[in-house]
Amino acid sequence: MTAYLRPRSLAEAVAARAAEPGYLVLAGGTDLMVNANHRPAPAGLIDLWRLPGAGEISLDAERGQLAIGAGATWLQVQRHPLVVRHAAILAAAAREIGALQIQARGTIGGNVANSSPVGDSLPVLLALEAELELCSVRGTRRLPYREFCTGYRTTALGADELVSAVLVPVAAPAVRLFWRKVGTRRAQSISKVMAAAAIHLEDGVVRRATVAFGAVADRPVRLAGVEAAVVGLAPAQAAEAARAAVAGAIAPISDVRSTSDYRLQVAENLAARMFSELS
């Protein structure tokens, strides 16, 4: 029999996590339940669904950060005015996750902790230079999202930790955001390629850009080569420089959903598009 714990506060949740490191953490269950048929029942579950306060979304004006509780569902994320205003591409990604039923149940914390190479929000968090708030009985720490995902479905999350919030810096008005999901179909679709970028354009040239891709490697990736190649260039030249820099930067695989050639070609096209769109 699987034991079932339903903590009523974050404190209770981290205490449960510390006491039962072997139990599975359950949020919306939209990742967990898919595989339930194919693996042995867990010893126990710690159910975070509707944990009070876990889905709150607020603005930390002092830090200039949007704080999104890990328990926020994709429906809450996409509809929240603060997200729409300050992190529009996160709202856009949220609208393309699964479809309405999944968005009503799946959480941002689940997407982050599950850390699938095709998790749709992950390149967005990279491009926006988000941080995570991680909690345990030992205390709370902040970690740049960039350092969280350490490999194929592996993360820096401690065995006693929970993801408690996603912290997204509020983008400066001059920063232009780009997001594109290329999936197998229009909804309920696993990504073949995702591209996200935050581009700071000043006086008609790119000052700084953060460029991230998903589904093209064993984990979501920032492409430093592309970011370096575009600095100081006008959009049209930046587009060509970005296209050229993608080829050496990623080596996507072929699988039942797509081919490496296709993923690379589309990644090149989107790398160019995120800059050519600026002009």
Partner 1 sequence: MVQAPPAPWIGASLPRVDGISKVTGRARYLDDLPAAGAWHGATVRSDIAHGVLEALDFDPAFDWSSVVVVTAADIAAQGGHNVIRLIQDDQPALVPVGGKVMHAHEPLALVAAPSRALARAAAAAVRPRIQPLPAVLSAKDALAGSVALHGTDNVFKSFLIRKGHREDAELERALASAALVIEGEYTTSPQEQMYIEPQAMMSSWHDGRCHIVGSMQCPYYVHKAMKTLLACKDDEVVISQSVTGGGFGGKEEYPSMIAAHAALLARKAGRAVKLVYDRDEDIAATTKRHPAWIRHRLGVDASGEPVAIDVDVVMDGGAYLTLSQVVLSRGVLHAAGPYRCPVVRVRGRVVATNHPPHGAFRGFGAPQTTFAYERQMDKLARARGEDPLALRKRLALRSGDTTATGQALTFSVGTDAVLAAIERAAGPPPQRAGRSLAGSPLRRGRGVCFYFHGAGFTGSGEARLAGRAAVAVVLPSGAEAASAAPVRFEVRSSSTDIGQGSITMFSQIAAASLGCDPQLVRVIDPTTDKVPDSGPTVASRTCMVVGRVVEQACRTLRGRLEAWRAARGPAAESLSLPEVAAAMARELASDGKELVELVQYEPPPGIVWDDDSYTGSAYPVYGWAACLVDVAVDLDTYEVSVLRCVQAVDVGKAINPVIVRGQIEGGTLQALGWALIENVIYKDGKVANANMTNCIVPTFADAPELETVLVEEPYPYGPGGAKGVGEIPMDGPAAAVANAVEDALGCAFDSLPISPEKIATALRQASARSDGKAGVP
Ligand X SMILES: Cc1cc2nc3c(=O)[nH]c(=O)nc-3n(C[C@H](O)[C@H](O)[C@H](O)COP(=O)(O)OP(=O)(O)OC[C@H]3O[C@@H](n4cnc5c(N)ncnc54)[C@H](O)[C@@H]3O)c2cc1C
Is residue 131 helix, strand or coil?
Answer: strand
Closer by beta carbon to ligand X, 82 or else 102: 102
**Of the candidate residues 79, 207, 217, 262, the single one contacting partner 1 (CB under 8 A):** 262
Measure Cα distances from 268 to 25, 59, 128, 143, 174 in Å. 38, 35, 20, 30, 24
Q: What are phi and psi of 97, to 5 degrees?
A: -80, 125
| Closest CB 185 distance from ligand X, rounded Å | 11
Residue 140 binds what, of partner 1, ligand X, none (CB under 5 to 8 Å, by partner type)? none
Alpha helices in 139-234 (DSSP H): 224-230
Query: How many residues belong to the site for partner 1 (CB under 8 A)?
Result: 25
Q: Build a one-symbol-per-residue string for 60-79: x at contacts with partner 1 by CB under 8 A, - elsewhere.
A: --------------------
Q: How far is CA 16 from the centre of its chain?
A: 26
Range 158-217, binding partner 1 (CB under 8 A): 180, 182, 184-190, 193
**Burial of residue 157 (number of CB atoms within 10 Å: 0-12, 13-18, 19+):** buried
Provide the residue type at 139 as one letter: G
Q: Is 269 in the site for partner 1 (CB under 8 A)?
A: yes
Q: Is 258 in the site for partner 1 (CB under 8 A)?
A: yes
Contacting positions for partner 1 (CB under 8 A): 34, 37, 99, 180, 182, 184-190, 193, 256-259, 261-262, 265-266, 269-270, 273, 277
